[in-house]
């Protein structure tokens, strides 16, 4: 990848400064970042959320979001200064010479038009091609991106294709005018590992084939290692370091970069099941469940013992969260039963006693929607304590302080604040505190770390681990991130299409031989090796990745 | 050509030049197009037309000035959080608030402000304005000005009661329907549909002629007619909130419906509900004024703007504007409330965290 001849500079950003408007003040959020990009080169921008990755990506198109402005520096694209260009001049560039691929393809496509109609819009608008030519070109691109039925798929509507296909269609759309530069803003973050791999392969191929320059924005190092020629690490609007991918992976210079690498090293010793005939805290036995007529769970059984973490993994739509809904009683199962400490639970949460409800708590994926934005922190945490234990006055306050201490937040500082004032990680901690307030024995963690940055996520995992040791909690850990599973799980349950494919202790699960589906999941997790993608593709054959995988 | 016309054009052209020089595009366009319009209007309508334009512009400038000063005043006397919110209010909203404030003062201190009693006959019918009567007398010789002051109290007070009642019924039903769902939701929804399918004015006339026209019946009937709209809005807003994870968490905790409504849903739906309250108020106000105009609303001799328009309607054929004054009072309040509501809608839509 690296030994390309020196090509002419396409994008030259010098000392870029961007300000954001908040609290009636302009605050600088990007503090003088410079980058150069040559033709055909792929630059990876990585950093935590709030590092200014997307803002810089948009600035490369001469665009600043609402409430942001480019306050200094220059953005030179192929000899043209973008910061001083008029909107009309920029509009001509966008779509035709610079294209943008957004994180959520589902939200970026117009649901009322077919894919191909949206694809040909730009070429028609710039009068580069006639409609039929543009459509033929679209089909060709679909074929190159290995979309199934390239002749036909374009005439479907966005909701008729899967998430991974949609993301590839979006990449095809970005290529429609053969731009010189494409900005990929976290194109695979919202996808499963198995789908991610096919989108990555498609993007890499097409960028190679057309010799397009690209800026690849992500927070996942392993992903960027596959895509980029060189990597730039950002922290809070400042550049930390920049070097070629191989150099960066082998010899990171800065402490911060090394800490990003170290994240995946958190691991705790695996616990074995208590021997003899210990009664599991939760035992799911032959559970079937359906939404209306559609059957979503088929004969699901597993046990969770006290003090242990059981990770439930699988792609989206595999029934992980539905299982959790069955256990909590939100979705009464159509067959089978759920035992709690050996006693059968009533199927619906409405018929459960207060104590049964107290024992099983839940932590949600999106802390934003899991905490009421108009209720103060101490009320959010205090309510379960008040509700179940009847605490009030000074006792309640003491309990809330104790809980805030447990989740490592300073009580006096957070006691009276509202959720929107907190960061994502802090919100998730409050969610944990709310679950703990009920004094449960079992907690369901539904993708608790997937919306968080790696460093923050690691903090949450460590906290959960600490709480488990102190309070002897049992966790059901729902996730699609196998790195998290490796870090925290004692036992693993692999689910696919509503069925348990394989289950067992983590050690066994991570050592071959696996069930073919487990194997597929495991091998789809990106690794820090720049040649990983190529190796996987070679092993599986180009057409045997993701949804098309033959297992 | 006299000094007024020369001064008029000189001022406009000078101001446009200044605006152009300082690069204020929109102001320049406004001023200069006004100049061009004035040319045409001046030729067609003569000097009096120019006077009209000047007076209109002056009135507009005066209202804007009042609104600006009133906003500054409110910002200065209110607390930090409220002041921050008030600063975002456009001039129209400030003007609306000023008008509402004036009406409130008028209604509350009516007996102090009004020179005569509301039912007091002090001169002959349709007497012209003089020193004691600012706006002349009505068809029975009562002071028009005093009646308008008292009318503010009666009409606005009644509309406020009816809106509040409609609101409590509609909002509570809506929240309950959204939280409970299922059959209760269906039944309430269909009842709302039935009420909404009958034209409101005809329905009100029908019910009022059945139950007789007294104030309590009037308030209840108007509230019943308007509660389905509130019900629908509340149900829709609450419907978006009940699917949130924090509601699920509260349900799994075993909380009752009343707790869910009071603590979890209501705090998150206040902004659209307050905006809806303002809009509803206008409709209710107009309906009551309309009913009074038809003779089924507030009964004489109680002063009320709607019936005042009707009672003095004959005067319009003599070229008098007296009947238009209560009508204008209704229109001004409606516009003012809408200005404020617009701002609140904008806030609830745009400033979400």
CATH classification at residue A209? 3.40.50.300
Query: Which of B33, B64, B95 is the endpoint of a domain?
Result: B64
Mutation target to probe the A interface, by most A beta carbons within 10 A, among B238, B250, B253, B265 is B253
Instruction: Compute the distance between CA of residue A342 and CA of residue A337 in angstroms, rounded to an integer.
Output: 11
Query: Which of B30, B47, B64 is the endpoint of a domain?
Result: B64
Same domain, B222 and B313: yes
Higher-confidence residue: A1 or B2? Answer: B2
Instruction: Compute the distance between CA of residue A75 and CA of residue A98 in angstroms, rounded to an integer.
Output: 13
> Is A223 in contact with A196 (CB distance < 8 Å)?
yes
Query: Which of A237, A265, A293 is the endpoint of a domain?
Result: A265
Residue B100 covered by a domain: no
Determine the longest span between alpha carbons in chain A, in angstroms.
76
Q: Would you state the pLDDT for residue A279?
A: 82
> Is B5 in contact with B42 (CB distance < 8 Å)?
yes
The 10s digit of each residue's pLDDT in A405-423 is 888 888 888 888 888 888 7
The minimum CA-CA distance between A354 and chain B, rounded to whole Å, is 7
* Partner residue opposite A369 with nearest CB, options B244, B254, B263: B244
Instruction: Compute the distance between CA of residue A84 and CA of residue A75 in angstroms, rounded to an integer.
Output: 9
Residue A276 covered by a domain: no
Strand order in the sheet with A499-505: A360-363, A442-446, A474-479, A309-313, A491-496, A499-505
Mutation target to probe the B interface, by most B beta carbons within 10 A, among A349, A350, A374 is A374
Q: Which of A77-91, A356-370, A452-466, A514-528 has the lowest mean pLDDT?
A: A514-528
Residue B187 covered by a domain: yes
Question: What average pLDDT does this structure show over B106-119?
Answer: 86
Exposed / middle / buried, residue B46 (Cβ in 10 Å: 0-12, 13-18, 19+):
exposed
Sequence-distant (6+) residues with CB within 8 A of A264 are: A454, A483, A487
Residue B84 covered by a domain: no
Query: Does the structure show a pLDDT above 80 at A267?
Result: no
Residue A539 covered by a domain: no
Q: Answer yes or no: is the ipTM higher than 0.90.
A: no
Same domain, B60 and B171: no
Q: Which residue has the tokens 């079937």?
A: A288
Same domain, B44 and B120: no
Q: Considering only CA atoms, which of B290, B277, B279, B274 is closest in space to residue B330?
A: B290
> Is A56 in contact with A33 (CB distance < 8 Å)?
yes
H helices of A407-453, in order, are 411-414, 424-437
Mutation target to probe the A interface, by most A beta carbons within 10 A, among B179, B181, B249 is B249
Instruction: Tell whether A497 lies on the interface with B, counting CB pairs under 8 A.
Output: no
DSSP type of residue A94: B
Residue A114 covered by a domain: yes
Same domain, B115 and B19: no
Calculate the average pLDDT of chain A.
82
Q: Would you state the pLDDT for residue A48?
A: 77
pLDDT band at residue B244 using 50, 70 and 90 as cut-offs: confident
Q: Would you state the pLDDT for residue A2?
A: 45
Instruction: Tell whether A384 lies on the interface with B, counting CB pairs under 8 A.
Output: yes
3-class secondary structure, A505: strand
Q: Which residue has the tokens 């294709």?
A: A161
Residue B136 covered by a domain: yes
Same domain, B245 and B335: yes
Same domain, A28 and A90: yes
Give the predicted TM-score (pTM) of the model: 0.74
Instruction: Tell whether B83 lies on the interface with A, counting CB pairs under 8 A.
Output: no
Residue A534 covered by a domain: no
Instruction: Compute the distance between CA of residue B236 and CA of residue B220 in angstroms, rounded to an integer.
Output: 24
Which residues in A lie closer than 8 A to residue B351 (C-beta atoms)?
none
Q: Which of A361-375, A529-543, B245-259 has the lowest mean pLDDT?
A: A529-543
Q: Would you state the pLDDT for residue B307?
A: 83
Q: Would you state the pLDDT for residue A40?
A: 82
Domain residue limits at A67:
9-265
Instruction: Compute the distance between CA of residue B350 and CA of residue A111 in angstroms, rounded to an integer.
Output: 24
Query: Which of B14, B39, B64 is the endpoint of a domain?
Result: B64
CB contact under 8 A, A370 and B245: yes
Mutation target to probe the A interface, by most A beta carbons within 10 A, among B238, B246, B255 is B246
Per-residue H/E/C for A185-239: ECCCCCCCHHHHHHHHHHHHHHHHHHCCEEEEEECCHHHHHHHCCEEEEEECCEE
Which residues in B lie closer than 8 A to residue A438 (C-beta atoms)?
253
Query: Does the structure show a pLDDT above 50 at B6?
Result: yes
Looking up residue B191, the CATH number of its domain turns out to be 1.10.3720.10
Query: Which of A203, A231, A265 is the endpoint of a domain?
Result: A265
Which residues in A lie closer than 8 A to residue B254 (C-beta atoms)?
349, 352, 354, 357, 387
Same domain, A390 and A482: yes
Higher-confidence residue: A120 or A188? Answer: A120
Residue A150 covered by a domain: yes
CA A37, A42, A43, A49 dihedral sign is: positive
Same domain, B246 and B299: yes
Question: What average pLDDT does this structure show over A430-438?
Answer: 90
Residue A112 covered by a domain: yes
CB contact under 8 A, B253 and A328: no
Which residues in B lie closer than 8 A to residue A66 (C-beta atoms)?
none
| Closest B-chain CA to A330 | B252
Query: Does the structure show a pLDDT above 90 at B187?
Result: yes
Which residues in B lie closer than 8 A to residue A374 (C-beta atoms)?
267-268
- In degrees, rounded to 5, the angle at the alpha carbon of residue A227 between the alpha carbons of residues A222 and A230 is 95
The 10s digit of each residue's pLDDT in A283-307 is 888 888 888 788 888 888 888 888 8
Per-residue H/E/C for chain B: CCHHHHHHHHHHHHHHHHHHHCCCHHHHHHHHHHHHHHHHHHHHHHHHHHHHHHHHHHHHHHHHHHHHHHHHHHHHHCCHHHHHHHHCCCHHHHHHHHHHHHHHHHHHCHHHHCCCCCCCECCCCCCCCCCCCCCCECCCCEEHHHHHHHHHHHHHHHHHHHHHHHHHHHHHHHHHHHHHCHHHHHHHHHHHHHHHHCCHHHHHHHHHHHHCCCHHHHHHHHHHHHHHHHHHHHHHHHHHHHCCHHHHHHHHHCCCHHHHHHHHHHHHHHHHHHHHHHHHHHHHHHHHHHHHHCCCCCCCCCCCHHHHHHHCHHHHHHCCCCCHHHHHHHHHHHHHHHHHHHHHHHHHHHCCC
Which residues in A lie closer than 8 A to residue B255 (C-beta atoms)?
387
CB contact under 8 A, A372 and B267: yes
Which residues in B lie closer than 8 A to residue A383 (C-beta atoms)?
253
Same domain, B47 and B111: no
Same domain, A359 and A491: yes
> Is A446 in contact with A362 (CB distance < 8 Å)?
yes
The 10s digit of each residue's pLDDT in B269-297 is 887 888 888 888 888 888 888 888 888 87
Residue B97 covered by a domain: no
DSSP type of residue A255: H
Query: Does the structure show a pLDDT above 50 at B353?
Result: no
Which residues in A lie closer than 8 A to residue B267 (C-beta atoms)?
372, 374-375
The 10s digit of each residue's pLDDT in A455-466 is 788 888 888 888
Query: Does the structure show a pLDDT above 60 at A1?
Result: no
Same domain, A203 and A290: no
Q: Would you state the pLDDT for residue A262?
A: 64
pLDDT band at residue B352 using 50, 70 and 90 as cut-offs: very low
Q: How far is CA A95 from the centre of its chain?
A: 27
Query: Does the structure show a pLDDT above 90 at B191?
Result: yes
Q: Would you state the pLDDT for residue A23?
A: 67
pLDDT band at residue B342 using 50, 70 and 90 as cut-offs: confident
First CA to last CA distance, chain A: 32
> Is B192 in contact with B228 (CB distance < 8 Å)?
yes
Q: Would you state the pLDDT for residue B97?
A: 92
Instruction: Tell whether A330 lies on the interface with B, counting CB pairs under 8 A.
Output: yes
The total number of structural domains that make up chain B: 2
The 10s digit of each residue's pLDDT in A39-64 is 888 888 888 777 778 888 888 888 88
Instruction: Compute the distance between CA of residue A125 and CA of residue A304 in angstroms, rounded to an integer.
Output: 59
| Closest A-chain CA to B266 | A374
Residue B75 covered by a domain: no
Question: What average pLDDT does this structure show over A377-399?
Answer: 87
CB contact under 8 A, A383 and B249: no
Q: Would you state the pLDDT for residue B350?
A: 54
Q: Would you state the pLDDT for residue B66?
A: 93
Sequence-distant (6+) residues with CB within 8 A of A270 are: A489, A490, A505, A506, A507
Instruction: Tell whether A366 lies on the interface with B, counting CB pairs under 8 A.
Output: yes
The total number of structural domains that make up chain A: 2
Compute the count of residue pairs across chains A and B with CB atoms less than 8 Å apart: 49
> Above pLDDT 70, what percent of chain A?
95
Query: How far, in Å, are B74, B107, B120, B131, B328 from residue B115 at the CA level?
Result: 30, 14, 10, 11, 21
Q: Would you state the pLDDT for residue B103?
A: 92
Q: Which of A83-87, A136-140, B85-89 has the highest mean pLDDT?
A: A136-140
* Partner residue opposite A328 with nearest CB, options B252, B263, B268: B252
Which residues in A lie closer than 8 A to residue B268 (C-beta atoms)?
372-374
Selected residues 339-358 of chain A with any CB under 8 Å from a CB in chain B = 349, 352, 354, 357
Same domain, A138 and A213: yes
The 10s digit of each residue's pLDDT in B120-171 is 888 877 777 877 777 878 878 888 888 889 988 888 888 889 999 999 999 9
Same domain, B143 and B201: yes
Residue B230 covered by a domain: yes
Q: Would you state the pLDDT for residue B185?
A: 92
Beta bridge partners of A291: A294
Sequence-distant (6+) residues with CB within 8 A of A293 are: none
Calculate the average pLDDT of chain B.
86
Q: Would you state the pLDDT for residue A276?
A: 65
Instruction: Compute the distance between CA of residue B351 and CA of residue B345 in angstroms, rounded to an integer.
Output: 10
Instruction: Tell whether A387 lies on the interface with B, counting CB pairs under 8 A.
Output: yes
pLDDT band at residue A544 using 50, 70 and 90 as cut-offs: low
Residue A486 covered by a domain: yes
Instruction: Tell whether B258 lies on the interface with A, counting CB pairs under 8 A.
Output: no
Higher-confidence residue: A387 or B313? Answer: A387
Instruction: Compute the distance between CA of residue B237 and CA of residue B277 in angstroms, rounded to an integer.
Output: 14
Q: Which residue has the tokens 């050509």?
A: B1
CB contact under 8 A, B252 and A329: yes
Question: What average pLDDT does this structure show over A476-498?
Answer: 84
Question: What average pLDDT does this structure show over A497-524?
Answer: 81
Which residues in A lie closer than 8 A to residue B252 (C-beta atoms)?
328-330, 349, 357, 361-362
Counting runs of H as helices and runs of E as strands, what totals does chain A give?
Answer: 23, 20
Same domain, A28 and A143: yes
The 10s digit of each residue's pLDDT in B29-63 is 888 898 899 888 888 888 888 888 889 989 999 99
Same domain, A196 and A311: no
Same domain, B289 and B166: yes
Same domain, B154 and B36: no
Which residues in B lie closer than 8 A to residue A361 (C-beta atoms)?
252
Same domain, A230 and A355: no
Same domain, B277 and B167: yes
What DSSP element (H or E) covers A473?
A: none
**What is the number of other CB atoms lying within 10 angstroms of the CB of residue A92?**
11
Residue B345 covered by a domain: yes
Residue A399 covered by a domain: yes
| Closest A-chain CA to B353 | A420
Query: Does the structure show a pLDDT above 50 at A216?
Result: yes
Which residues in B lie closer than 8 A to residue A372 (C-beta atoms)?
244, 246, 263-264, 267-268
Same domain, B50 and B163: no
Q: How far is CA A201 from the centre of its chain?
A: 18
Instruction: Compute the distance between CA of residue A415 and CA of residue A549 in angstroms, rounded to an integer.
Output: 51
Q: Would you state the pLDDT for residue B306?
A: 82
Query: Does the structure show a pLDDT above 80 at A492?
Result: yes
Same domain, A415 and A475: yes
The 10s digit of each residue's pLDDT in B192-221 is 999 999 998 889 989 988 988 888 898 999
> Above pLDDT 90, what percent of chain A?
1
CB contact under 8 A, A383 and B253: yes
Domain residue limits at B56:
3-64
First CA to last CA distance, chain B: 60
Same domain, A366 and A248: no
């Amino acid at each position: 990848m690296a030994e390309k001849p020196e090509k002419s500079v396409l994008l030259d950003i010098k000392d870029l400064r961007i300000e954001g408007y908040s609290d009636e003040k302009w605050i600088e959020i990007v503090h003088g970042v410079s980058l150069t990009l040559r033709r055909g080169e792929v630059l990876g921008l990585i950093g935590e959320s709030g590092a200014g990755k997307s803002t810089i990506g948009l600035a490369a198109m001469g665009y600043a979001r609402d409430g942001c402005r480019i306050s200094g520096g220059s953005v030179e694209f192929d000899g043209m200064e973008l910061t001083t260009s008029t909107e009309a001049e920029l509009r001509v560039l966008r779509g035709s010479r610079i294209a943008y691929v957004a994180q959520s393809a589902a939200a970026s496509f117009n649901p009322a038009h077919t894919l191909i109609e949206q694809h040909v819009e730009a070429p028609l608008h710039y009068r580069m091609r006639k409609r039929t030519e543009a459509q033929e070109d679209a089909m060709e691109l679909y074929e190159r991106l290995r979309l199934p039925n390239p002749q036909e798929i374009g005439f479907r509507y966005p909701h008729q294709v899967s998430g991974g296909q949609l993301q590839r269609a979006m990449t095809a759309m970005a290529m429609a005018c053969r731009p010189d530069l494409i900005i990929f803003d976290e194109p695979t973050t919202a996808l499963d590992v198995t789908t991610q791999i096919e989108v990555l392969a498609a993007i890499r191929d097409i960028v190679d084939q057309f010799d397009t320059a690209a800026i690849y924005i992500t927070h996942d190092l392993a992903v960027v290692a596959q895509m980029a020629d060189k990597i730039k690490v950002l922290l809070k609007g400042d550049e930390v370091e920049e070097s070629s991918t191989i150099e960066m992976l082998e010899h990171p210079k800065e402490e911060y970069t090394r800490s990003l690498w170290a994240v995946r090293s958190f691991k705790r010793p695996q616990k074995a099941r208590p021997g003899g005939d210990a009664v599991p805290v939760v035992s799911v036995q032959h559970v079937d469940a359906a939404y209306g007529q559609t059957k979503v769970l088929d004969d699901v059984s597993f046990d969770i013992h006290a003090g242990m973490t059981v990770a439930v993994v699988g792609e989206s739509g595999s029934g992980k969260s539905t299982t959790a809904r069955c256990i909590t009683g939100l979705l009464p199962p159509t067959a089978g039963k759920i035992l709690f400490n050996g006693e059968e639970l009533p199927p619906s949460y409405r018929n459960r006693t207060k104590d049964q409800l107290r024992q099983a708590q839940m932590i949600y994926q999106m802390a934003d929607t899991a905490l009421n934005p108009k209720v103060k922190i101490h009320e959010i945490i205090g309510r379960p304590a008040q509700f179940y234990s009847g605490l009030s006055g000074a006792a309640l306050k003491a309990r809330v302080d104790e809980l805030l201490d447990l989740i490592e937040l300073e009580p006096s500082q957070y006691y009276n604040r509202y959720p929107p004032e907190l960061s994502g990680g802090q919100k998730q901690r409050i969610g944990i505190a709310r679950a703990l307030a009920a004094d449960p024995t079992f907690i369901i963690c539904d993708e608790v770390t997937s919306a968080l940055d790696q460093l923050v996520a690691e903090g949450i995992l460590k906290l959960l681990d600490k709480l488990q040791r102190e309070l002897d909690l049992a966790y059901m850990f729902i996730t699609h991130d196998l790195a998290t599973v490796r870090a925290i799980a004692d036992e693993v349950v692999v689910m696919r299409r509503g069925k348990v494919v394989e289950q067992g202790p983590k050690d066994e699960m991570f050592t071959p031989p696996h069930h073919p589906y487990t194997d597929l999941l495991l091998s789809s997790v990106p690794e820090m090796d720049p040649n990983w993608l190529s190796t996987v593709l070679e092993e599986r054959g180009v057409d045997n990745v993701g949804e098309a995988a033959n297992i | 050509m006299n000094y007024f016309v020369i001064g008029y054009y000189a001022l406009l052209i000078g101001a446009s030049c200044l605006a152009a020089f300082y690069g204020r595009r929109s102001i320049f366009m406004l001023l200069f197009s006004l100049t061009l319009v004035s040319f045409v209007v001046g030729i067609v309508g003569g000097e009096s037309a120019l006077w009209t334009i000047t007076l209109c512009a002056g009135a507009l400038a005066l209202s804007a000035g009042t609104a600006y000063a009133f906003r500054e005043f409110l910002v200065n006397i209110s607390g930090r959080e409220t002041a921050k919110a008030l600063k975002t209010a456009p001039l129209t909203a400030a003007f609306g608030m000023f008008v509402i404030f004036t009406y409130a003062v008028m209604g509350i201190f009516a007996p102090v402000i009004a020179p005569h009693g509301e039912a007091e006959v002090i001169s002959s019918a349709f007497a012209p304005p003089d020193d004691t009567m600012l706006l002349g007398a009505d068809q029975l010789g009562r002071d028009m000005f005093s009646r308008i002051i008292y009318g503010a109290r009666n009409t606005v007070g009644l509309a406020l009661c009816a809106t509040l009642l409609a609101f409590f019924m509609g909002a509570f039903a809506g929240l309950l329907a959204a939280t409970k769902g299922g059959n209760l939701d269906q039944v309430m929804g269909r009842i709302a549909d039935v009420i909404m399918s009958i034209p409101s004015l005809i329905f009100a006339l029908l019910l009022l002629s059945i139950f007789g026209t007294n104030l309590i019946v009037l308030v209840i009937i108007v509230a019943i007619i308007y509660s389905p709209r509130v019900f629908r809005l509340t149900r829709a807003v609450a419907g978006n909130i009940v699917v949130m994870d924090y509601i699920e968490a509260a349900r799994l905790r075993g909380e009752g419906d009343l707790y869910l409504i009071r603590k979890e849903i209501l705090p998150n739906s206040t902004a659209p509900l307050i905006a809806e309250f303002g809009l509803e108020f206008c409709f209710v106000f107009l309906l009551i004024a309309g009913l009074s105009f038809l003779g089924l609303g507030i009964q004489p001799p109680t002063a009320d703007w709607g019936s005042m328009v009707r009672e003095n309607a004959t005067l319009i054929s003599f070229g008098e504007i007296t009947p238009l004054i209560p009508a204008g009072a209704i229109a001004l309040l409606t516009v003012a409330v809408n200005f404020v509501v617009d701002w609140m809608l904008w806030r609830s839509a745009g400033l979400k965290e």
